[in-house]
């Protein structure tokens, strides 16, 4: 298979699997802010275990078309291997495995990569607790301010700019407090998550609509970046329009550092920012939250966070919108990781199992869950239209405090149009056994979208990436029911460019950079100067 020719095959043996050594701790205080050329820290990520290693037992089986039923229990040795495997630095799979086709083998590998990443990031921030003994309300690693920063704490107005990301815990806390909305100050306590809402926090991408839960509340969205992304943005002054448009960035082709396995070789002259040891590389998150009601808090089925949510400013109003104290439940999790082998990034999407049913369940009127957050299975023939956007106005009314309407009558009725594949379901089943009796067994992987045309990345010119210049994403379409609710593939199948596809859509992302010469004296095949490396974050710069 041609995949084999194109990338470094790194197959980990059981012996080389390392547990996670430890996350940066406050003991690293006083080290200067990292620049992209510095080392991220040995042990922050690991060489990915071979998904088809026989030691992994059922994880290495054919999951798309299993030859025998999957087990209900998993050997404890395999379990602890999984929970301790840590964050993969990069992907590296062979297209030769137990599945029926090379493409399915790779999908299996990427889905395994996604799950391990999910476990790594959602493990408790407290290194003493492993994920299999975590509680629903424990702060996760990604929620820790040492690991991820929210987009709105980077794209600051000119008075608060530039953003800072110290390495010292106290300094980090100070920066967080500095950026608190004034109305939240009185309510804030250290450790609380603070979600500052803008339009994109309640209105899905490109204004496709808000999502309203069964209690009549808005779902809330947030975007975060890791240090590698932050360092790059900071170093190149991309956190403001003026910075993006300055002369130093005329020639800059935005290229976030990729994750890669520890390599013993010398640094790659062509990519000086590649670390010589394992580097996580750029990671970005998009998460969706539900406002939990007392019953849900008690039931402890969602990963929960004690949060302050400051509502979006109302156009034309001078009043400060309220800051609300809410318990947020995690309902959707997009994890996007750039690796040296996938410069179009790897796009992982998870959801809570009780968000929505899929269309087969609806057609058969047989639901796997007894209730859903965004679907009413019993509505006495007066069910709202499926996947319809709510009626306008969509802007949250401060007086209603994140309720969509006064009377809670509007609720989204959402159905997943593309059911999970059998392979994904089976992998979820296995991981749920590992995560049994933790809140994380309530989260499932939808799929992983990854660029399948490996020849794509070595080409220099736009047109040389054939036949698909976004490098043939696999699967072609992918939508999370809470984050791309209204752009799902309809019954006639996915429509190119219109139906949600992570890579196809993010491939359109550009920044505000200009190159005054590029139009006057264009070079044939020149790299564009305002692409923003598959992230829309840069266009949020003020």
Q: Give dist(CA 323, CA 184) in Å, integer.
A: 5
**What's the min distance (Å) between Cβ of 506 and other proteins?**
10
Candidates 43-51, 164-172, 437-445, 484-492; binding stretch for other proteins (CB under 8 A): 484-492
CB of 277 or CB of 510, closer to other proteins: 510
Q: Give dist(CA 60, CA 53) in Å, integer.
A: 6
Interaction of residue 462 with other proteins, rule CB under 8 A = yes
**What's the min distance (Å) between Cβ of 429 and other proteins?**
16
Interaction of residue 384 with other proteins, rule CB under 8 A = no
Interaction of residue 210 with other proteins, rule CB under 8 A = no
Interaction of residue 13 with other proteins, rule CB under 8 A = no
DSSP string, 341-383: TEEEEEEEEEEETTS--BHHHHHHT--SSS--SS--S--TT-P
Torsions phi, psi of 526, nearest 5? -60, 145
Interaction of residue 426 with other proteins, rule CB under 8 A = no
| Of positions 89, 415, 474, 537, contacts other proteins by CB under 8 A | 474
What is the pattern of x (binds other proteins, CB under 8 A) and - over residues 159-198? ----------------------------------------
Interaction of residue 318 with other proteins, rule CB under 8 A = no
Where in 90-109 is the site for other proteins (CB under 8 A)?
Answer: 100-104, 107
β-sheet bridge partners, residue 444: 351
**What's the min distance (Å) between Cβ of 48 and other proteins?**
21
Interaction of residue 466 with other proteins, rule CB under 8 A = yes
**What's the min distance (Å) between Cβ of 178 and other proteins?**
27
Interaction of residue 388 with other proteins, rule CB under 8 A = yes
CB of 184 or CB of 541, closer to other proteins: 541
**What's the min distance (Å) between Cβ of 514 and other proteins?**
7
| Of positions 94, 477, 480, 537, contacts other proteins by CB under 8 A | 477
Asked if 121 and 54 count as a contact pair (C-beta separation under 8 A), the reply is no
Token pair listed for 73: 């229990």
Where in 104-163 is the site for other proteins (CB under 8 A)?
Answer: 104, 107
Q: Give dist(CA 345, CA 502) in Å, integer.
A: 10
User: How many residues sit in the footprint of other proteins (CB under 8 A)?
Assistant: 84
Asked if 240 and 503 count as a contact pair (C-beta separation under 8 A), the reply is no
Q: Give dist(CA 108, CA 100) in Å, integer.
A: 11
Three-state SS for 110-144 is HHHHHHHHHHHHHCECCCCCCHHHCCCCCCECCCC
Token pair listed for 506: 């993010």
Q: Name the helix (H) or strand (E) containing 518.
A: helix 516-520
Interaction of residue 392 with other proteins, rule CB under 8 A = yes
Q: Give dist(CA 348, CA 114) in Å, integer.
A: 6
Where in 21-80 is the site for other proteins (CB under 8 A)?
Answer: 64-65
């Amino acid at each position: 298979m041609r995949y084999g020719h194109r990338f470094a095959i790194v197959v980990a043996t059981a012996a080389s699997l390392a547990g996670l050594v430890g996350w940066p701790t406050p003991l690293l205080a006083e080290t200067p802010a990292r620049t992209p050329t510095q080392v991220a820290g040995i042990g922050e990520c690991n060489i990915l275990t071979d998904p088809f290693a026989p030691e992994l037992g059922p994880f290495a089986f054919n999951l798309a078309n299993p030859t025998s039923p999957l087990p209900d229990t998993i050997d404890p040795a395999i379990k602890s291997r999984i929970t301790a495997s840590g964050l993969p630095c990069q992907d590296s799979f062979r297209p030769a495995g137990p599945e029926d086709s090379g493409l399915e083998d790779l999908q299996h590998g990427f889905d395994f990569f996604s799950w391990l990443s999910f476990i790594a990031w959602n493990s408790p921030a407290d290194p003493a607790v492993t994920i299999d003994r975590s509680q629903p309300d424990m702060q996760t690693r990604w929620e820790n301010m040492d690991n991820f920063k929210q987009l709105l704490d980077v794209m600051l107005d000119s008075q608060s700019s530039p953003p800072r990301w110290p390495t010292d815990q106290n300094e980090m806390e100070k920066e967080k407090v500095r950026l608190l909305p004034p109305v939240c100050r009185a309510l804030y306590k250290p450790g609380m998550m603070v979600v500052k809402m803008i339009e994109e926090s309640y209105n899905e991408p490109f204004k496709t609509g808000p999502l309203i839960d069964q209690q009549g509340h808005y779902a809330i969205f947030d975007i975060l970046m890791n240090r590698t992304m932050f360092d790059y943005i900071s170093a190149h002054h991309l956190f403001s329009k003026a910075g993006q448009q300055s002369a130093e960035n005329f020639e800059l082709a935005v290229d976030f550092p990729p994750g890669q396995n520890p390599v013993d070789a010398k640094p790659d002259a062509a990519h000086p920012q590649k670390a010589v040891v394992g580097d996580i590389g750029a990671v970005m998150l998009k998460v969706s939250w539900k406002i939990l009601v007392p019953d849900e808090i008690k039931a402890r089925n969602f990963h929960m966070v004690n949060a302050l949510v400051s509502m979006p400013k109302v156009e034309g109003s001078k009043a400060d919108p309220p800051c609300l104290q809410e318990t947020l439940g995690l309902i959707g999790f997009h994890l996007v990781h750039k690796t040296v082998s996938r410069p179009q990034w790897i796009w992982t999407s998870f959801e809570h199992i009780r968000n929505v049913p899929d269309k087969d369940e609806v057609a058969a009127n047989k639901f796997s869950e007894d209730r859903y957050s965004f679907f009413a299975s019993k509505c006495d023939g007066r069910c709202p239209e499926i996947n319809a956007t709510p009626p306008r106005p969509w802007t949250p009314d401060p007086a209603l405090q994140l309720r969509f309407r006064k009377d809670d009558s509007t609720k989204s009725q959402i159905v997943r149009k593309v059911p999970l594949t059998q392979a994904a379901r089976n992998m979820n089943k296995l991981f749920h056994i590992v995560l049994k009796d933790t809140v994380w067994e309530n989260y499932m992987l939808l799929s992983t979208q990854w660029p399948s045309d490996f020849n794509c990345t070595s080409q220099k010119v736009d047109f040389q990436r054939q036949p698909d210049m976004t490098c043939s994403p696999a699967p072609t379409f992918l939508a999370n029911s809470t984050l791309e609710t209204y752009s799902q593939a309809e019954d006639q199948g996915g429509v190119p460019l219109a139906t949600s596809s992570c890579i196809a859509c993010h491939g359109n992302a550009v920044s505000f950079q200009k190159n005054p010469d590029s139009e006057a004296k264009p070079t044939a095949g020149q790299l564009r100067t305002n692409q923003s490396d598959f992230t829309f974050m840069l266009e949020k710069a003020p």
